[in-house]
Amino acid sequence: MGIFLNQAGYTVNAPKIAVTTTPCNFQIIRTVDQISVFDGITTDGGFDASSGEQTYHIDFSALTIPGSYYILSGDKQKSPTFTIGNEVYRSLQKDLMKAFYYQRCGCALTEEYAGEYTHPACHTAPSVFLEDYINKTPNPASFDMTGGWHDAGDYGRYSTAASVALAHLLYAYELFPESFQDSLNIPESGNHLPDILNECLYELKWLLKMQAEDGGVYHKLTSFSHADFIMPQDDHSQFLIYPVSSMAVADFAAIMALASRVYKPFEPEFSETALQAARKSWKWLLNNPYIGFHNPEGSNTGEYDDTCDLDERMWASAEMLRTDFGFDNTYLEKLTEYVLSDINKTDFGWTDVSGLTLLCTLFDAKHSAGEKIENALKAALFTDADKLCSLIDAGGYRLGMEPEDYVWGSNMVVCNRSMLLILASLLSDADHASAYKNAALEHLHYLLGKNALGISYVTGHGDNAYKNPHNRPTFADGIELPMPGWVSGGPFKTPCDPKAIELIPKGTAPMKCFVDEVESYSTNEITIYWNSPAVFMTAFFNLNP
C-alpha cells in the first residue's frame, strides 16, 4: 500500500496528514523507544486524478510532542521516519541554498568549503561571439565572461534563468532576513554580508558582464553543444556569447534594480553600478521591440525561448519604479499599461515572470505604484490563491496541481504555487493567513515525500530521497551520493528522454511519471530556478512554524 508523508518532518502545530491507498488502522511509533504515542483510523481522502488512485488520509495533527517517529499500519507496514519540531526545515534551507555554491563556475571548489565535492577552476578561457565562431572569423575578439553559476545539469549560463533564480533568493532575503543568519561555509562567510547575499553577488557580477554597451543583454553564454558527462574542469569547449533577446534585457533590468535596492546598505558602490546598468537596459527596452531567441542549426544547449516579453517588461517596470522612483516617469506609465492589460499576474517561472511584478509592487512600503495598480494585483493574487486552495481540498494528496500541470520541471510549479500562497498569507488577516499558510505548506510536504511515489525530491533529505540527478558533476565525480539540497525537476506527464520513455509505461498517471536515473533529463534534472523558490518556501516556514 505505501504510506506517503513529509520525510523531513512537521512543525509542532502544523496540520499533519499522511496519505495511503488502503484504509487501515494506524499507530504513530516513537523511534527512540518503539512506543506507540498515537493511534487512529484512516479517513476517506477521495480519488486523486493526478495519481490515478483512491486515497485515504492518516491525520495525526493532534500529535505535537517533538521527536522522531514513524507510522505503522494495521498490517505492519512502516512509513519512512519523520521528525516533529519547530526547526525541522532549518538544515533543509541551508542545503537548498548551499547548492548554489556547488554550481559556481570559474573558481576552484576547495575541500574547506565543498567537502568531498571539490574540483579545480573551470571554464576560465575567454569567450567569443557566436557569429565569429560560426563564421570562423580569424583572431576574433574575446572577452572575460568568467563567473556565475552553472545553470543546471549542464555547464551553460543563461541570463533569463539567472535573473529569475536571483529574484526568488533576493526576495526571500528581503522578506525573511531573519531566516538567513546561519553560515553557509562559503569563502565569503564571516564578512559584512549575509551568506545568501554573498552567494547571489557571485552570480550578479557575472550577469553584469552579459550587458552590451547599448544596454542590450546577451541571451546566454554556452558552448555550441552540451558537454559530455565530464567534470567541469575537463570541459574545454569554446564558450560563446549568444545574441541579445528582449526577454534577457527586461529580466536584467528588473534584477539589477532589485539588487540595487537590496545591496545598498551593504555594498553602496555595487548598488550604484547595478542601478546604472538597470537604467541603461530600461532605455534599450523603450527603444526596441520584442526580440526572441532560437538556437542556430546544430546548437543544442538550452534555448529558453519565449514568444512574449510583455511579462518581463512588466516586471522590469515594477522594479525600476520601486527602486528608482522619480527618476523616469515611463516606469509608472509602462507598469500601468501592462498591469491593466490581460497579462497573467501570478507566475514565478522563467517563461512567465509576471508574479514577480505582484511581489515587487504589493510589498513596496512606499506604495509607488498607487492604489489602482495594487488593487488589480491583489485581485489576481487572491483569485488564484483561492483556486489553489480549492484544488488542495479536492485532491487526495492535498496539492494545488491538476493532471495537466505536471509539465517538464513540475516541481518548479509546485514551489512557485507555494510562493503564491505564502504571499496571500502575508497579505491576509489572521484567519485567512493561517489557511493560506497551511495550503502553501502542503506543497512542501509533497516535495519531501507526500506524493504517489513516496520520493523526497530533495537530495539528502528523507529516507527515500532521490539519488541520481541529471547533473554532470554528480555523474562524473565518482562519489556515491550527490550533493545535498538539490531539487529534482520531478514528474513530467509526457516524458521525452529515452531513459524515461523506456522505464515509464504508457498511460502512467502524471504524478508517477518520474524515474530516478541520471539519464532522465526530462524528469530528473536540477536547475538553479527550481532550488530558488524552495529556498523562499523554507525561509518562510522557518520563521512561521
CA distance readout (Å), 307 to 162, 169, 199, 310, 351: 19, 26, 31, 10, 9
What is residue 10's predicted lDDT score, i.e. its pLDDT?
98
Q: Give a yes or no: residue 96 inside a domain.
A: yes
126-147 pLDDT, tens digit each: 999 999 999 999 999 999 999 9
Cβ density class 151-175: b for 16+ within 10 Å, e for less:
bbbbbbbbbbbbbbbbbbbbbbbeb
Asked if 449 and 80 touch (Cβ cutoff 8 Å), the reply is yes
Domain boundary among 27, 60, 86: 86
Q: Does position 402 have pLDDT exceeding 90, yes or no? A: yes
Check whether 1 has a pLDDT greater than 80. no
Active-site residue list: 154, 470, 516, 525
What was the pLDDT predicted at 430?
Answer: 86
Q: Residue 263 carries which side chain, given as an amino acid letter?
A: Y
The answer to whether the CB of 448 falls within 8 A of the CB of 462 is yes
> What is the rounded distance in angstroms from the CA atom of residue 223 to the CA atom of residue 239?
4
322 part of a folded domain? yes
Q: Which of 395, 521, 414, 329 is nearest to 47 (CA)?
A: 395
332 and 444 share one domain? yes
| Tens digits of residue pLDDT in 462-487 | 999 999 999 999 999 999 999 999 99
> Is residue 265 domain-shared with residue 335, that is, in the same domain?
yes
Kindly report the CATH number assigned to the domain that includes residue 132. 1.50.10.10
Scan for cell 533577446, then name that residue. 245
**Domain closes at, from 60, 86, 112:** 86
Same domain membership, residue 208 and residue 71: no
pLDDT of residue 46: 97
Residues 322 and 417 in one domain: yes
**Are 145 and 58 within one domain?**
no
In a domain, 467, yes or no: no
Q: Which domain holds residue 42?
A: 1-86
Q: Is residue 380 within a helix (H) or strand (E), and if so which, with residue range?
A: helix 371-394
Residue 423 CB neighbours (<10 A): 27
| pLDDT at site 431 | 83
Task: Name the CA dihedral angle for 214, 220, 225, 226, rounded to a multiple of 10 degrees.
Answer: 160
Closest by Cα among 214, 219, 174 to 197: 174
Q: Which are the contacts of 233, defined by CB distance < 8 A and separation ≥ 6?
A: 119, 120, 121, 122
The answer to whether the beta carbons of residues 240 and 127 sit under 8 Å apart is: yes
Dihedral angle, C-alpha 192, 195, 199, 200, nearest 10 °: -80
Query: Which domain-ending residue is among 67, 86, 105?
Result: 86
What CATH number is associated with residue 68? 2.60.40.10
- Region 245-265 average pLDDT: 98
List the strands of the sheet with 67-73, edge to edge. Answer: 9-10, 82-84, 67-73, 25-30, 35-41
Count of domains for the chain? 2
Q: What residues are paired with 81 via a beta bridge?
A: none
Are 400 and 442 in contact by the 8 Å Cβ rule? The answer is: yes
- Residue 54 and residue 196 in one domain: no
Q: Do residues 249 and 371 share a domain?
A: yes
Mean pLDDT of all residues belonging to the chain: 97
Task: Establish if 482 belongs to a structural domain.
Answer: no
Q: Are 255 and 160 part of one and the same domain?
A: yes
Quote the CA–CA distance of 385 and 95 in Å, as a whole number: 28
